[in-house]
Amino acid sequence: MMKNHLFSHNLPKPTKTAAVVRYAAIGDAIQASSVLPWLKENGYHVTFYCQHGNGHEAIKHDPHIDKFVIQGKDEVPPSHLLEFWDYTKKKYDKWINLSESVEGTLLAIPGRANHEWPNEMRAKYQDKNYLEFTHEIAQVPPPYRPKFYSTQDERAWARKKAQQWGKRNILWSLSGSSVHKAWPHLDAIVARVMLEFKDTHIVLVGDDFCRLLETGWEGEPRVHCLSGKWTIRESLAFSEVADLIIGTETGLLNAAGMMEVPKIITLSHSSPEMLTKYWKNVTVLEQPKTGGCPKFPCRQLHYGWEHCNKHEETGTAVCQQTIDPETMWDAVSKVMGDNQFNRKVA
């Protein structure tokens, strides 16, 4: 009865082994993927410890990962994580634990001491690039190579979608995982694109909550309201064939960071040094020097509005509300005018 079962202790042991631990969402998992090519190039068998969900989905076809250990949320209780890691790391020649390498360290968590620091202190000690910091923890030298790997079927699907829609397609990632990761002037730009670029379609993506942001565009044939309908891998695969990607500090923008496709991002809690320093073909939009949130960029995580300045009229963060539609339109029209809309399909 047992002869067809796989027993890991019977598998041949690799010569060199490495484990990478990153329980995280999409952007953090993509950032962690940057250290993997070096590990494989140096002969390591790589095991990736991650949490069930979108983080794993984003990297599950990364060719540099030999084995996943997928854990449910709090499957190992937080109070026992140190004990679990101390036991587990003995199995590997190289142990890379990227837990709280960004959150808690470079982005302060409420309840931690650095969350209450003066903003100038966070600017002085936390304004570090996420990729650089990840590599330093891993003791892996540059280059920085975070990457989303689509499958052949996913690429074929994305090409077909792009070809059946506009001559040009804008992919818009509507909102991230926190309250401050939404830009409130979407409708003004969508309307202007519809009027001025008749060959262009806009593809709106996000989670179920983002459906609220799509309200009013359901009947427009050149606007595709796909929040909560496409999986994260479908959205990421389409980013490889899009002609322009727009969004806030979302996992999708992180995954597209090193792609050649033009990108426009509205920053919130991160600075350009922290997030976009090594990105390719990106236009970074920030709040004006005066009149916005006095903490920008705050380098804090937000799980609600308690520590984030909310613009009451739009219900969004002040740092996002003060990036006005004209600023966004200037960036969009510049990309359109630069004739960069040649699809780059992996």
Give residue-wise pLDDT tens across range 86-98: 999 999 999 999 9
**Cα atoms in the Cβ-side hemisphere of radius 13 Å centred on 70:** 12
Report pLDDT for 305: 95
Is the pLDDT at 301 greater than 70, yes or no? yes
* Mean pLDDT, the chain, integer: 94
Report pLDDT for 2: 55
Matching fold, domains 14-138 and 158-337? yes
**DSSP-based three-state secondary structure for 101:** coil
Mean pLDDT of 226-248: 97
Candidates 3.10.450, 3.40.30, 3.40.50, 3.30.70; correct CATH number of 14-138?
3.40.50
Q: How far is CA 296 from CA 118, 189, 235, 328, in A?
A: 12, 24, 29, 18
Is the pLDDT at 345 greater than 50, yes or no? no
The domain limits of the chain are 14-138, 158-337
Give the distance from CA 114 to its chain's centroid: 24
Mean pLDDT of 200-223: 95
How far the first Cα of the chain sits from its last, in Å, is 44
Cβ count within 10 A of residue 161? 19
Strand order in the sheet with 244-247: 223-225, 200-205, 168-173, 244-247, 263-266, 282-285
Is the pLDDT at 30 greater than 70, yes or no? yes
Specify the residue for token string 């995280």.
Answer: 24
Specify the residue for token string 């730009």.
Answer: 189
Candidates 1.10.10.10, 3.40.50.2000, 1.10.3720.10, 2.40.160.40; correct CATH number of 158-337?
3.40.50.2000
Cβ count within 10 A of residue 336? 19
Give the residue with greater pLDDT, 15 vs 237: 237
Is the pLDDT at 263 greater than 70, yes or no? yes
In this prediction, what percent of the chain has a pLDDT beyond 70? 97
Can you read off the two tokens belonging to residue 217?
Answer: 């565009």
Q: How does pLDDT run across 145-188, given as a tens digit for each residue? A: 999 999 999 999 999 999 999 899 999 999 987 889 999 999 99
Report pLDDT for 294: 95
Q: How does pLDDT run across 121-132, given as a tens digit for each residue? A: 999 999 999 999
> Which element (helix H / strand E) includes 42?
none
